[in-house]
Structure 1
Amino acid sequence: MTSQSGRSQILATWQEAFTRLNANQPGITGLMNFTKAWKFAREYLYPIDINNPSTKVYAAHEVRTAFEVLGKARRLAAIFEAFLEDMRTQQHLITRDVNHHMSLHEETSDPRAVADLVYRLTEWHSAWEPGQEFGHQVLSAFNHTFQTHVFSVLPASFSSGFKSLIDMTLQPYLDKEESRSRGGEYPADLRLWAGFECLGMLERYESLISSVCYEAIEKHVWDKCARSWAEPELVNLREWITDCIVPWMLLPYARGARNSEEAKVMLQGVGARFDFHMCKTLCDLRIGEIFDIIVDYPDSKGALQDLKECLQRVDQRSQLVLALRRANARRLLHPGADTKDILAQYVSIMRCLRFIDPPGVLLHKVADPIRKYLRGRPDTIRCIVANLVGDKESGDSLADVDEPVQPLSQVQLEDYSDPNWEPEPIDAGPDFRKNKPSDTISTLVSIYDSKDLFVKELQVLLAQRLLLVQDGNFDNERRNIEILKVRFGEAQLQVCEVMLKDMTDSKRIDQHIQTQNECVLHSTIISRHFWPPLQGNKLIMPTQFKEVQDQYANGFAEFKPDKKLHWLPQLGTITLEVELQDRTIEAEVTPLEAAVIGLFGEKDRWTTEALTSSVGGTIEESAMTKALNKWVNLGVIKENEGGEFILLEIQEEGGAKPTASRQAVMEEAPSVMTVEQQQAEQMKVYWRFIEGMLTNLGSLPLDRIQTMLRIAPGYDKTVEQLAAFMEAARREGLVTVHGAHWKLNR
């Protein structure tokens, strides 16, 4: 049961409500007015069907009077709640139109069907929207309810249709020429964008709107910039955004701007996002093309400038390093690539990455696999040295023509007391040093830990080039030595100086001998202790050649009585006239080829074995075969069915008279031993030690063999050199390897 106080409270509340609704009028007059106003307001606010619009007209003063009565009675919130409930009962009308227009879109894929839906929804919104007298909060609640229902009934296909519609509005802006022909005016559908804003689609689908612009930027960047490397494209891309994208951006992002300054402020954030995306897209494109850009350097400097600016805007340095390392591994660092091509690409990588990143962090990260691979190639040093002493006219120098010749730089410890000292870049690795060699040649030489390997290869290459000089002009080699002195120092090049002096002294000695006693022989005299070992064999020249050598040696003994000549008859060239019964053949040949044809002057028939024995038992079969083929090609001898070679005093019918070029002779001539050959010859001295170890101790690992060889006199080889020698011995069948242990092959 309700207590007396409760009944009193209820009665007081009812009385207060009745007084408020009756508006202190006599009887129930005020209550009747309130009821009439409530009914009128419900009818006025009721969501109509715009397909069957009502013809009833409401007078403005009647509407204002009714809402004033409800306001005084504090029932506006209640009437709005009733209105929202009426909206829920009428929402099927909106759903029907949504399904109709989206069905059209799904059938035709025409974005204009989506535009018609937006226009239709805007009409529903305008028809149902309550008046401004309800205030901002009421209107906000109405918009929220209306948009919630609309978004809840939109099918999944609406997103793609909406995106197509946005793309359709953007396309007229992308044609720069068309926009200029219109005087800069664009067909902006303000009604459509007003509908988007009214329905809350600008906020809900902001990512879709942005994605349309992102895709347009990506397409333009790829179309205009792909494989276009000569000139920077970033400035042109930003001009394109200013001319084509920014006018369109005013519609979704700056519709409420009252002047250009307000529009600029409103577009600042989204404009920065689009500029960032453009830089990222261009950066991705250039990173994907980076290997070919480097190959095309210096004609691709424009692309490098773009990449440098984009990397400052977009942090994709690690992606650049990873992409370039993968491209190098796939397209450069493999057995099919020539060493000189790898070196040329490495030099281009240096120049390009130093331009992009002057501190050298990117180069340090990219170059490490290249340097390791080049270190494992046996001809890397030879290629670098050949470039150092090569002809400048060849145009393939690894060093930049504008790069001054300077001593090989050495890595120095950092001077922290330097007032201009700066810390290393934040992405530098623990083994990075800013003061690494900066010039190209120093960087290439620093692939190896010691300069001695390069100096030895320089001596070999210089010896080969000096021996090929026929006109006595050594100016080019003298210039090369002076340049190399700057790079390696005079002490390292003393042997090369002696070699060059030998050549000039040899020319002077030969001229003196010729003036005293003219001889058909011209010799090159070198110092045995200062020249690299020469490839050769114990060739025995026929008597007539021996007489010429003795005549020349006597002339030398008169001029240099304290010295004696030790002939290397296998080297050089000889000009011969071979007189046969019906013809005379002139040919410039090697000493071995001259010795072979000289033996045919003694008798007409020879076997290969007999010739090899007569000219020297150390002549290889391949060299003898090549010498015989030379005279066969000249039509001087022929091989019969029994394997004998017969002198052709009378030319056979159909026989040709080919001639041998001087260049061909020079290419076939034996040369100076390479550094690898010298090392192999030196290692042969220690084979007896290795053979004794494996005989007495059985199979041994390489480290154990290396340790025991260190007690041998003069042994200074590395484990890698020993491993190469043992591998060569394995190929010859002298040793076998199981696991990591080597043993003699019984």
Structure 2
Amino acid sequence: MAANVLAKQVQNKWNNSFARLNRAEPGITGLLAFSEAWRIATDFLYPRDLNDPTPRKEYSMQEVRASFEFLSRAKMLPLLMENFLEDMRKQQHLIERDINEYMAEWEAADTPDFMARLIYRLEKWYKEWSPIPELGSILLSAYTLAFQTHLYSSFPPSFSRGFKQLIASSFSFVNAPCPPWALPPEPHPSLPPGPARQDVFLWSACESLGLLDRYESLIASVCYEYIEAHVMETCAKRWHESMLTCLRGWMTDRVVPWMVMPYARGARSADEARQMLQGVGSRFDYHMCKTLCDLRLQELFDIIIEYPDSMPALQDLKECLSRVDQRNELVKSLRRANRKRLLHPGADTNSIIDQYKNTMNALRFLDPPGVLLYKVADPIRRYLRERPDTIRSIVTYLVGDGEGGEGLGNENENEPIQPLQQRQADDYNDPNWEPEPIDAGPDFRTNKPTDVISTLVSIYDSKDLFVKELQVLLAQRLLAVTDGNYEKERRNIEILKVRFGEAALQVCEVMLRDMTDSRRIDQHIQAQKQMPLHPTIVSRHFWPPLQTSMFNMPGQFKEIQEAYAKEFHLFKPDKKLHWLPHLGTISLDIELQDRTVSAEVPPLEAAIIEHFSTKDTWDVADLATEMKIERAAALKAVLTWVDLGVLKEEDTGLYKLLEVAEEASSSSNPVARQAAMEDTSSVLTVQQQEQEQMKVYWKFIEGMLTNLGSLSLARIQSMLKLAPGYDRTIEQLADFMEAARREGHVTVRDGVWRLQQ
């Protein structure tokens, strides 16, 4: 029963299919017509071998269309399509053979012409096998998809590299003579005759094969690399001119014309092409800005060194940073460069301060809120705080005693001098108030942008350290003035009073007044009695400690001092002079038998040669004993006169006065003598004052360790705070104790200090 039902169903289907194929024609006439139409259609669509010299059979297009219409009415087009695609699959080996041949030639020569020939050959295969448009878009789309699928599966791994080389070479003939390989081997049917863009043929072939969509990222990478190479070649180390405008002009002239075919194909007008290129053009401009930004970040340390001459490079970097988010990279790169090239013992403190100053100016230009400056400057500030000569270097700049003689106090004469700026609380009622930037750290407000001087001084917690150093430096400068012109120092004091306040500079004003009073007093005494001595008279309690010495001037020098002191006492009965004979200089003429030697020397050298007026030969040890000075100081003074040809060494440590000149000795070194005189400082530095004061506190420490046996550093610090005037930190105490340990006075074990037994 079931077999009969199945047989009946098969019979019905056969009858329906036969009727559909026979088209209700008598007998099998319709079936024969269908067979002929199928033969014509399949033979017409069959993928031919381009390498087969046999000419292709010509078909009447009217007959072909009629065959396809017949098959369509019979609903056999899907079967015809499947048959065609299967035939194409079977013929795919013909295309693979050409691909392998051209790729082998390309790998052997490594030139783009073989890749171009392969592209044109594949385009010819595609057009040779392609069905005519009259057959419908469905068949054409199915064919294109199948052809490209088979094609991509046939490409070897090296095809991407070769195709990238071909695309890269296309930049070389934009607006240039067309290379032979860029033209197809035969006239291109899709282009009108006449001149055209040289790369139209290549891009048209790539579009036909679907390579533009499949390798879109590869094509974009070629343009990225082209942009990177141009930026590195034209912009590296060119900081004194803006490069961003030039780069965008180059993009318009060279890159945009190249972009038209791969990214604006099919545009029917210039406006339509411009609209199609807007998105990809923005991406390429972004990449150009990123490449320039990366380059400038690598060079930023040197750009800051060249500031302000490098302002054009900073302007470009600022614009790039607004487009490219590279702020974190800027901080990391600059901190790394500072750590490698700046923050190490080999760098001079003045150089570090100069770079810090330029860094402040440059980063404030790039980021006015100051977030970048805070993140970059913090390691520099901490490193400067650890350097012992930082305060003195900053003060030297403040009073204009650095190279060039101007310093930071006068770096912008058009702006008024401002007081040191302190941290201020936010005024939320200010209509111009802005919130902190999103990338600001928790301590950012402590580094709000201020003037350069305030920022440098804020490295330390207290400005008292600067005031002490200012007093020492001003004292040295005042004592070095020989012509009585103190206007520069007076101007410096006025500037510093604005910076630090009136109270902090009172001592400096007293020192300046002492110098003018000293000159007036000397003029009065010289009017009463002409004397060759012109001393500088200062107030002991208002000046930093001066260098001290135990020796007294001998002979005529002592007489001159006593005479001057007598006249001074007559003029100032309530005051008394305390001489510091080792400071200053003396101009003297030494009259010998055959010559007169003129020299300007320190008082110690003058005292030494005065002793030779009483005896021609002296031993250095005897001179040191006579003058109550160290032997090394006496020997140094004697050698000064040896260099001048006044003394001669008779024996070891024994020197004789040369009344008659001898041949000049090769050991004479006036340059070294002048340098030695310049190195002598009359005022104790802040560090020397601290060392002297710590020697006083050493007596307290020695008494503690003697009575208590052993103490920790924290316990010593707490007990020293009871001593009058003690204001050292525990870190400074640790440095002092370590110095005492090196000298053999104390020992330390497990953090406990003991006297050396």
Give the TM-score category using the shorter length.
over 0.9
Find 1:712's aligned residue among 711, 717, 723. 723
* 1:51 maps to amino acid: N
Give the structure 2 partner of residue 161 of structure 1. 162
CA displacement at 1:188 relative to structure 2? 2.0
1:464 equivalenced with 2:464 (yes/no): no
Equivalent residues of 1:587, 1:660 under 8 A apart: no
CA shift, 1:232, in A, is 0.5
Matches of 2:175 and 2:555, distance apart in 1? 91
The answer on 1:287 being equivalent to 2:293 is no
- In the alignment, which residue of structure 2 is the partner of 1:20? 20
Instruction: State the match for 2:188 in structure 1.
Output: none
Q: Which amino acid aligns with 1:205?
A: Y
**Cα offset, 1:626, TM superposition:** 1.6
Distance 1:3-1:700 versus aligned 2 partners, 3 A rule? farther
**How far, CA to CA, are the matches of 2:659 and 2:578 in structure 1?**
36
Other-structure match for 2:463: 451
The answer to whether 1:115 aligns with 2:152 is: no
Distance 1:94 1:186 in 2: 30
1:212 counterpart = 2:222: yes
Question: Relative to structure 1, is the Cα distance of residues 741 and 48 closer, same or farther in structure 2, using a 3 angstrom cutoff?
Answer: same
Letter in 1 for 2:293: C
2:96 alignment counterpart:
95
Q: 1:653 to 1:363 in 2, by over 3 A?
A: closer
Distance 2:669 2:144 in 1: 101
Residue aligning to 2:36: 36
Instruction: Tell me the equivalent position of 1:686.
Output: 697
Measured after TM superposition, the shift of residue 395 of structure 1 is 5.6
**Letter of the aligned partner of 1:92 in structure 2?**
H
Q: Which residue of 1 aligns with 2:739?
A: 728
Deviations 1:610-661 (A, max 9, x none): 2112112xx3443222211111112222222242122223333556998969
Q: In the alignment, residue 721 of structure 1 is paired with which amino acid?
A: Q
**5+ long unaligned stretches in structure 2:** 180-194
Q: For residue 21 of structure 1, report the CA deviation from its aligned partner.
A: 1.5
CA contact (8 A) 1:38 1:70 kept: yes
Deviation sequence 1:6-44 (CA, Å, 0-9, x none): 444443333322222122223322222112211221111
Gap change, CA 1:634 and 1:293, over 3 Å in 2: same
CA distance in 1, matches of 2:271, 2:471: 73
* One of 324, 328, 334 as aligned partner of 2:338: 328
1:423-470, Cα deviation, whole Å (9 max, x unpaired)? 111111111028725111111111111000000000000000000111
Q: 1:309 aligns with which of 294, 305, 319?
A: 319
Matched, 1:349 2:348: no
What is residue 191 of structure 2 aligned with on the other side?
A: none
Does residue 170 (structure 1) correspond to residue 165 (structure 2)? The answer is: no
Could you say what secondary structure the match of 1:340 adopts? Answer: helix
CA contact (8 A) 1:588 1:660 kept: no
- With the length of structure 1 as denominator, give the TM-score of the two structures: 0.95
Identify the residue that residue 150 of structure 2 maps to in structure 1: 149
Letter in 2 for 1:129: S
Q: How many angstroms does 1:663 deviate by?
A: 6.1
Matched, 1:81 2:93: no
Are 1:573 and 1:665, in contact at CA under 8 Å, matched by a contact in 2? no
Q: Partner of 1:529: helix, strand, or coil?
A: helix
Alpha-carbon distance in 1 for matches of 2:46, 2:675: 106
Residues 463 and 672 in structure 1, CA contact (< 8 A), matched pair in contact too: yes
What SS is found at the alignment partner of 1:415? Answer: coil
Question: Is the 8 Å Cα contact of residues 536 and 670 (structure 1) preserved in structure 2?
Answer: no
Q: Equivalent residue of 2:125, what SS? A: helix
Q: Distance in 1 between matches of 2:133 and 2:102?
A: 31
3-state SS in 2 of match to 1:576: strand
For residue 138 of structure 2, what is the aligned residue in structure 1?
A: 137
2:616 pairs with 1:604:
yes
| Alignment pair present for 1:672 and 2:691 | no
Kindly report which structure 2 residues correspond to 1:244-323, keeping only aligned pairs within 5 A, or say none: 244-323=254-333
Question: 1:529 is matched by which residue type in structure 2?
Answer: H
Q: Is the 8 A contact 1:596 1:611 kept in 2?
A: yes
Corresponding residue number in structure 2 for 1:199: 209
Contact 1:588 1:665 in 2 (8 A): no
C-alpha contact (below 8 Å) 1:635/1:657 kept by paired residues = no
1:426 aligns with 2:427: no
Q: Which amino acid is 1:77 matched to?
A: P
1:72: Cα distance to partner? 0.5
Q: Partner of 1:463: helix, strand, or coil? A: helix
Question: Contact conserved, 1:45 with 1:83, CA < 8 A, in 2?
Answer: yes
Q: Matches of residues 587-626 of structure 1 in structure 2 within 5 Å?
A: 587-616=599-628, 619-626=629-636
User: CA 1:186/1:304 → structure 2, altered by over 3 Å: closer, same or farther?
Assistant: farther
Q: d(CA) in 2 for partners of 1:492 and 1:87? A: 97
* Further displaced range: 536-545 or 100-109: 536-545
Aligned partners of 2:704 and 2:666: how far apart in 1? 59
Q: In 2, distance between residues paired with 1:19 and 1:659? A: 128
Find the aligned partners of 1:344 and 1:432 in 2 and give their Cα distance: 23
**Residues 106-155 of structure 1: CA distance to partner in whole angstroms, max 9, x if unpaired?**
11112111111111111111111122244333222211111111111111
CA shift digits 1:206-231 (9 cap, x unpaired):
12211111111111111111111111
- Return the letter of the residue paired with 2:94: L
What is the alpha-carbon distance in structure 1 between the residues aligned to residue 699 and residue 147 of structure 2?
A: 99
8 Å contact 2:297–2:333 — kept in the other structure? yes
Instruction: Spell out, residue by residue over 1:403-429, the C-alpha distance to the aligned partner (whole angstroms, 9 max, x if none).
Output: 431101001111222222111111111
C-alpha separation in 2, matches of 1:118 and 1:514: 106
Give the match for residue 181 of structure 1.
none
Per mean C-alpha deviation after superposition, the further-off stretch among 137-146 and 233-242 is 137-146
In structure 2, the CA distance between the partners of 1:659 and 1:346, relative to structure 1 (3 Å rule), is: closer
The residue type paired with residue 48 of structure 1 is R
Structure 1 residue 243 corresponds to structure 2 residue 253:
yes
Q: Which moved more, 1:70-79 or 1:134-143?
A: 134-143
Contact kept, 8 Å, 1:578 with 1:584, in 2: the verdict is yes
| Separation of aligned partners in 1, 2:397 and 2:56 | 97
Q: Is the 8 A contact 1:412 1:435 kept in 2?
A: no
CA distance in 2, matches of 1:244, 1:659: 67
Which range is displaced more, 596-605 or 652-661?
A: 652-661
Give me the whole-angstrom Cα distance separating, in 2, the residues matched to 1:489 and 1:430: 31
CA RMSD of aligned residues (A): 2.2
Report the counterpart of residue 555 of structure 1 in structure 2: 567
Letter in 2 for 1:416: Y
Q: Which amino acid aligns with 1:480?
A: N
Partner SS, residue 639 of structure 1: strand
1:232 pairs with 2:233: no
1:59 pairs with 2:70: no
- 646, 649, 658: which one aligns with 2:659: 649
Q: Classify the secondary structure of the residue corresponding to 1:575.
A: strand
Amino acid at match of 1:23: R
Q: Bigger shift: 709-718 or 329-338?
A: 709-718
The aligned amino acid for 1:718 is T
Tell me the CA shift for residue 305 of structure 1. 0.8
1:523 aligns with 2:535: yes
Structure 2 contact 370–449 (Cα < 8 Å) conserved:
no
Shift of 1:715: 1.5
**Greater Cα offset, 284-293 or 46-55:** 46-55
User: In structure 2, what is the equivalent of residue 48 of structure 1?
Assistant: 48
Return 348-357 or 643-652, whichever deviates more.
Answer: 643-652
Indicate how the Cα distance of structure 1 residues 128 and 395 shifts in structure 2: closer, same or farther if over 3 A, else same: farther
Displacement of 1:5? 4.7
* TM-score (norm. length: structure 2): 0.93
In the TM superposition, residue 173 of structure 1 has moved relative to its aligned partner by 2.5
Say how many residue pairs are matched: 737
Match of 1:340 among 346, 350, 358: 350
Matched, 1:406 2:418: yes
State the secondary structure of the residue aligned to 1:640.
Answer: strand
| Deviations, residues 274-311 of structure 1 (Å, cap 9, x unaligned) | 10110011111111111111111111111111111111
Structure 2 Cα separation of the partners of residues 323 and 174 of structure 1: 39
Distance 1:475 1:190 in 2: 79
The one-letter code of the counterpart of 1:108 is A
Distance verdict in 2 for CA 1:92–1:551, change over 3 Å: same
Distance 1:665 1:744, change over 3 A: closer
Is this contact kept in 2: 1:172–1:186, CA < 8 A? no
**Which amino acid in 1 is paired with 2:712?**
P
